[in-house]
Amino acid sequence: MRIRTTRFSSLFAGVALSAVGLGAVSGCGSQQEASSETKIQHQRIQRVADAWDGSAAATAWLDGFHPMSDVTQLPRGGLRSKADQQAYLDHSFVLKGKLPSTTPKDGQVTWGDGSTATRPLTGAHESYAALSDGARADGAPRLTVTGAQLGEMRVATNRGPAVVPAWLFSLQGYDAPLKQAAVIPSKLPESPIGQARDVPGYPLNGLVEMTAAQRSVTVIALSGTCDGGPAVDVFETRGSVVLASSVKEPAKSGNCTKQGKLQQVTVKLDRPVGDRVLLDAHTGRPVPYKPPHGPSPSWS
């Protein structure tokens, strides 16, 4: 089994986690020998790959529609002012216009190879509600929606880029619309293998980015405040890419606080992800895409 390790590349700014509910994140107690920990982790990686490759879960994953990028796209050229940017981050919208009251029951997802899938659609009002969380304090910046129409947008998915139906919201002061995917993602398949127990390292916190060529992925990994920072092992098979998060060096004994740090780790692959499933060795489940603003519709 050929497993490669990638070191962390950049700090995931502004994030710190309490160790409550995560176990001994700082790992200040006694540690197993590094070689023993590596062996245990590699065995787990192999078991996850073996469980998924050729499984019913892998078939269900491949047949489904699972977004792997943000399903909301800003108007072409982006938001023009800091006030508009803050309103978007705060989910602060106001509706001054009418939204379509009827929606087709289903829409078609179309991938680059010509394959398609029919999925149910959300209505314009439901899609708007996903953008806006309601009333805001007087004087707070807001984005004004003046209408919407059903169109299309391109998103990254578990099977590569796809064109999907989307609600195109007209914004006051903008020529181009804000797009929100109208397609309801497929239900996640049940994993053929349970979560790991007594395996060194921590579950990944999510997928941040996949390059256009799909030769690298950036994930969020957890480490303690006293260890050497996160490292991510990768094991590639024909049907899966298994990632396992650990730490470069065990925590040093001493005055360690039980806190964790989330950091971005970029993992380079031997070949593009393609339609292979990206798996977390610790959970035994697909690595969830983590949008910058809000939960992924596939995993929420």
Q: What is the pLDDT of residues 239-270, one digit of tens each?
A: 999 999 887 666 565 566 566 778 899 999 99
pLDDT at position 119, please?
Answer: 96
Q: Which two tokens stand for residue 107?
A: 């829409």
Identify whether residues 155 and 199 lie together within a single domain. Answer: no
Shared domain for 167 and 196, answered yes or no, is no
**Residue among 217, 202, 207 at smallest CA distance from 261:** 202
Residues 121 and 266 both lie in one domain: no
CA 263 distance to own-chain centroid:
14
Is the dihedral angle over the CA atoms 268, 270, 271, 274 positive or is it negative? negative
Check whether residue 83 and residue 167 sit in a common domain. Answer: yes
Predicted confidence at residue 251, as pLDDT, reads: 55
Same domain, 177 and 235: no
In a domain, 128, yes or no: yes
pLDDT exceeds 50 at position 5: yes
Q: What is the total count of domains within the chain? A: 2
26 and 119 fall within a common domain? no
E strand map for 112-181: 116-120, 143-157, 160-171, 178-181
Is 206:219 a contact under the CB 8 Å cutoff?
A: yes
Residue 201: band (very low, low, confident or very high) from pLDDT cuts 50, 70, 90: confident
- Is residue 297 assigned to a domain? no
Q: Is residue 145 pLDDT above 70, yes or no?
A: yes
In a domain, 295, yes or no: no
Please report whether residue 220 resides in a domain: yes
**DSSP assigned state of 199:** -
pLDDT digits 0-9 by tens, 202-229: 899 899 988 878 899 999 988 766 655 7
- Residue 179's SS3 state is strand
Tokens of 292: 């910058």
CB 202 within 8 A of CB 176: no
In sequence order, what are the residues at sequence separation of 6 or more whose Cβ sits closer than 8 angstroms to the Cβ of residue 82? none
221 & 254 share domain: yes
19 and 55 in a single domain? The answer is yes
With bands split at pLDDT 50, 70 and 90, how would you rate the model's confidence at 300? Answer: low
Region 168-173: mean pLDDT is: 98
Identify whether the C-beta of residue 112 lies closer than 8 Å to the C-beta of residue 162: yes
Inside any domain, residue 197: yes
- Do residue 158 and residue 215 come from a single domain? no
What are the structure tokens assigned to 17, written together? Answer: 């986690």
For residue 54, the model assigns a pLDDT of 94
Q: What is d(CA 24, CA 198) in angstroms, rounded to the nearest whole number?
A: 12
d(CA 105, CA 101): 12
> Which domain-ending residue is among 181, 216, 245?
181
Q: Which among 133, 157, 181 is the end of a domain?
A: 181
Confidence at residue 263, expressed as pLDDT on a 0 to 100 scale = 87
pLDDT (mean) for 86-113: 94
- This prediction has a pTM of 0.81
Give the residue with greater pLDDT, 291 vs 8. Answer: 291
> Is the residue at 294 inside a domain?
no
Could you tell me the two tokens for 11?
């700090």
Give the residue from 257, 293, 284, 188 showing the smallest Cα distance to 20: 257
- State the Cα–Cα distance between residues 215 and 267, nearest whole angstrom: 9
Considering all CA atoms of the chain, what is the largest pairwise distance in Å, rounded to the nearest integer?
A: 65
pLDDT attached to residue 287 = 93
Quick one: 165 and 221 in the same domain? Answer: no
Is residue 160 domain-shared with residue 116, that is, in the same domain?
yes
Write the CA distances from 209 to 9, 15, 100, 266, 281, integer angstroms: 14, 18, 33, 9, 19
Identify the domain containing residue 251 by its residue range. Answer: 4-63+189-280
Place of tokens 């962390």: 8
Is residue 163 within 8 A of residue 71, CB to CB? The reply is no
Nearest to 121, CA basis, from 133, 108, 132: 108
